[in-house]
Amino acid sequence: MTYTLSIVTGTGFQFQEMDMPLIRKWWCLLLMERFKIDGYGQRFAFWTDEARSLLQGTFQPIFRVPRKRAITEEIPAHMQAVFDRTAEEKRLVDFIVQSPGAEQHLVDVLNGKTSKWYPPKSFRQVPVYLDSEGQQDNLFVFLKSVIHKTPTKLSFTDEVQFICGVLFPEAIIYGLAGLQNLSLQDAEQAFLSGPHYHYSEVEEFNRKIDKQLRKEGRASSWSQ
């Protein structure tokens, strides 16, 4: 019942196993109050002076709410690194989408401004840079809208390839330059280098690979 109440009120699960005795008391009191069985309270094991005070409104129950800091500190380092990078990627995409300068830069490229990324080459792999699929989608939708409302002198047959191979790097490089106060040349180098990963993420990745390899090794020995 408390899980359901937490969900419908949107408060989150702010209780633990040690809270259950108090929560059971609370639900018991609600039921007695709702069904007007105050006169038969002595039949309930939890009926006490404290319970009467709660029903009469002369005593306020005390609920322990964990601090957000404590919750954050419990998050593993590799997960916190992912959260931080996702937030940084959102900040980058929001800057590109909301900055008039970024859109004008893309319009200039579509109008024939020299770009090292045009024409897109099918064999050339362009760094994605963004790990978050949600942010990739947001940026793709924005770039597609820029194409559809801008007459262009550039020719291309595959719109998706053009967006991913030309406008994606142009937009991200411009965004990195604006957010990090870099020259376009330095921003391009940052783009090519890709996002930075926390050492804990590398350790977690290696741990999972090692675990998978050992699991496959055991499966192989069993099959033999």
pLDDT tens across the length of the chain (224 residues) = 888 887 877 777 777 777 788 888 877 777 766 655 544 444 444 556 666 666 666 666 555 555 554 444 567 887 888 888 889 999 999 999 999 999 999 999 999 999 989 988 765 667 788 988 889 999 999 999 999 999 888 888 889 889 999 999 999 999 999 999 999 999 999 999 888 888 888 888 888 888 888 877 765 555 55
Smallest Cα–Cα separation from 105: which of 154, 48, 135, 143? 143
Contact 187, 173 (CB under 8 A): yes
From 211, 203, 168, select the one nearest 188 (Cα to Cα).
168
DSSP string, 194-210: -----HHHHHHHHHHHH
pLDDT of residue 45: 47
Give this prediction's pTM.
0.60
